Structure 1
């Protein structure tokens, strides 16, 4: 068989090894009844942050609704959160992978990062349609006018604070699409999730399992809820009906160990990202500050109480499965990493308020 007879545009083509139809049925391209042509090749450039990568995945859902066979290439710093069953080529931004992308042709290319490197890549890539942020004349620019608003809100707080659209809604508009509550996609290990399901059910003994994510990262520490409030909130819960489970990473390990000693909350420890995502798939509800846990909870379709102060609450898409609570006195530090008050506004978000919202979500 001549090389010219190979159907490189078939969705079963695997590059340098036999495809699945060949392995199973001993067919080749010129007599194969399983040939399916990729209808669209789409590139998504969304490097980080991790939570932003997760909440960009509704685009994949949308494009799969629009086109029967879509091949996705996604460039990201966080490949582990993306499901390979839905995204065919998940690449980290290495020099080798950048060359691969530059030497491919795409029907649609999307860049949702404003950093120069990502914008320059969109400018350089070969694509019939380009959406998002691009590099032009030495500065950030919009690939189409639809992206201009997102650039402006990133530059001027007094405009950003008036925004009433969620992040997915804005991303869809940038791509000239209509957001209809397409869900997040999330990669997690189902066998690990089943293991934790058994352990958590045994520990809960019929109670509702509520995950308490106590940290928020280092970038905006103004988001943190006081430790004493976590203690008060945990003590207010009805422990005959609720098992509170402390969650976090290595940064929260000391805090969560201490909180477990002060309360009846259970702290299972710290885990790899894969283990953490799988564990949290078994929760009945989540309480968290704005954090990666927020995006994971949305991906798992878990009801959530989200504590917010410094961000525009409209940017968070809750899919009608949760509630956002904020300090009664408001916040003076829009996207601020230092509090302007002598006493943080998070002291004005009372434990009783959070407890009441949790009880409503769980209907207890």
Structure 2
């Protein structure tokens, strides 16, 4: 049957990566829902990434699996339970965006009549190819375009390209109450200085300089981060370097929907290559983002309302295979350039007062 006439009722999308990667699958999810409005769309993902998609209205069920198991036996047992669960759902379309080798036989065992996967250079074995009905070569220069290209064999007529970060109004009410108590419910910007890996981070003293400059314009600065020990140490160190300490209350305390509400109501977001950066883009919050030794074109925020500052414009950065993951490649970016970018975005999107001190 020609796919343009096929009406899928139960669809499963598989992606096993990190929070930001999951958010970048939302245009694919939105597109499937627009073309198959009656379909139930489920997602198989790592259970720790569930919160970033938990409020998405186009998703029926999020099936979480553990990222790491204690042993091979536990891994196989976990996969067995996943297969049993998925088989019971009788998916008539499975879309695979995951490159983990165990995914292919797992999908084959679901007995779905239509199984599509993106093509991965490191997954060319006969077994991998055998487990899918179609292998699609990805197209485009951005990960969102790559994800959407898997649909080309379905003759999709409606394309949704915007990333989506949903949250319930109650999450904003909770955040707003805290902002009032902190006397920070007027104009504020959000800065997330932390990332999963050190090579994506910037220098604490430079963040502090930018914070001081921005606060001189009468704006509150709110620092956010994950709850981990290293993240908390980073937030504390930056705050201590500031002449006027920023608000650190929310660092490590928000859920993803709460963080979305906080970012959504901000005048500006500043951050490095991380999930909150992609959240800001999805929420259409103006943003300034810093990139180092990663493919900044492929992973850039999916938004036009941004200024992207790349370390490669200041010095040579290594290829992915040569990255030293303990080195801060963003250190070559001057604080004054980030301040200038922030003020440019603020002047284009909001009214700011005259600075108390000169830059």
Structure 2 segments unaligned to the other structure (5+ residues): 1-6, 66-77, 353-359
Q: Tell me, yes or no, if the aligned pair for 2:192 and 2:223 is still in contact at 8 Å.
A: yes
Task: Identify which of 334, 337, 347 aligns with 1:350.
Answer: 334
**Partner residue, 2:252:** 270
Task: Identify which of 230, 242, 263 aligns with 2:207.
Answer: 230
Q: Tell me, yes or no, if the aligned pair for 1:119 and 1:133 is still in contact at 8 Å.
A: no
**Partner residue, 1:99:** 84
Match status 1:298 vs 2:281: yes
Higher relative contact order at CA 8 Å, sep ≥6: structure 1 or structure 2?
2
- 1:309 is displaced (CA, Å) by 1.5
Give the direction of change, closer, same or farther, for the CA distance of 1:180–1:69 in structure 2 (3 Å limit): closer
Q: Tell me, yes or no, if the aligned pair for 2:33 and 2:41 is still in contact at 8 Å.
A: no
- 1:273 is displaced (CA, Å) by 2.8
**Partner residue, 1:309:** 292
- 1:211 is displaced (CA, Å) by 1.0
Task: Identify which of 211, 215, 218 aligns with 2:194.
Answer: 215
**Partner residue, 2:23:** 54
**Partner residue, 1:75:** 44
Give the direction of change, closer, same or farther, for the CA distance of 1:189–1:170 in structure 2 (3 Å limit): same
Relative to the length of structure 1, the TM-score reads 0.75
Task: Report matched runs for 1:254-269 at 5 Å.
Answer: 254-263=233-242, 264=244, 265-268=246-249, 269=251
Determine the C-alpha separation between the residues in 1 that align with 2:129 and 2:255.
Answer: 33
- 1:277 is displaced (CA, Å) by 3.8
Determine the C-alpha separation between the residues in 2 that align with 1:322 and 1:181.
Answer: 20
Please give the secondary structure, in 1, of the residue aligned with 2:136. Answer: helix
Task: Report matched runs for 1:171-182 at 5 Å.
Answer: 171-176=147-152, 182=161
Give the direction of change, closer, same or farther, for the CA distance of 1:192–1:104 in structure 2 (3 Å limit): closer
Determine the C-alpha separation between the residues in 2 that align with 1:344 and 1:52.
Answer: 22
Determine the C-alpha separation between the residues in 2 that align with 1:340 and 1:60.
Answer: 32
Q: Tell me, yes or no, if the aligned pair for 1:196 and 1:279 is still in contact at 8 Å.
A: yes
Please give the secondary structure, in 1, of the residue aligned with 2:114. Answer: strand
Task: Report matched runs for 1:1-364 at 5 Å.
Answer: 40-77=9-46, 78-82=49-53, 83=55, 85-93=57-65, 94=78, 95-133=80-118, 136-139=125-128, 144-147=134-137, 149=138, 165-176=141-152, 182-200=161-179, 203-204=183-184, 206-207=186-187, 209-218=188-197, 221-249=198-226, 250=228, 251-263=230-242, 264=244, 265-268=246-249, 269-274=251-256, 275-315=258-298, 316-327=300-311, 328-335=313-320, 338-339=323-324, 345-363=329-347, 364=352
**Partner residue, 2:4:** none
Give the direction of change, closer, same or farther, for the CA distance of 1:304–1:145 in structure 2 (3 Å limit): same
- 1:317 is displaced (CA, Å) by 4.2
**Deviation by residue 1:295-343 (Cα, 9 ceiling, x = unmatched):** 22223222211111212222224221212111232442233684499x8
Give the direction of change, closer, same or farther, for the CA distance of 1:170–1:133 in structure 2 (3 Å limit): closer
Give the direction of change, closer, same or farther, for the CA distance of 1:272–1:233 in structure 2 (3 Å limit): closer
- How many pairs does the alignment contain? 309
Q: CA RMSD in A?
A: 2.9
Determine the C-alpha separation between the residues in 2 that align with 1:86 and 1:79.
Answer: 14
Please give the secondary structure, in 2, of the residue aligned with 1:228. Answer: helix
**Deviation by residue 1:42-68 (Cα, 9 ceiling, x = unmatched):** 110112212111110111211122123
Give the direction of change, closer, same or farther, for the CA distance of 1:229–1:74 in structure 2 (3 Å limit): same
Q: Tell me, yes or no, if the aligned pair for 2:194 and 2:231 is still in contact at 8 Å.
A: yes
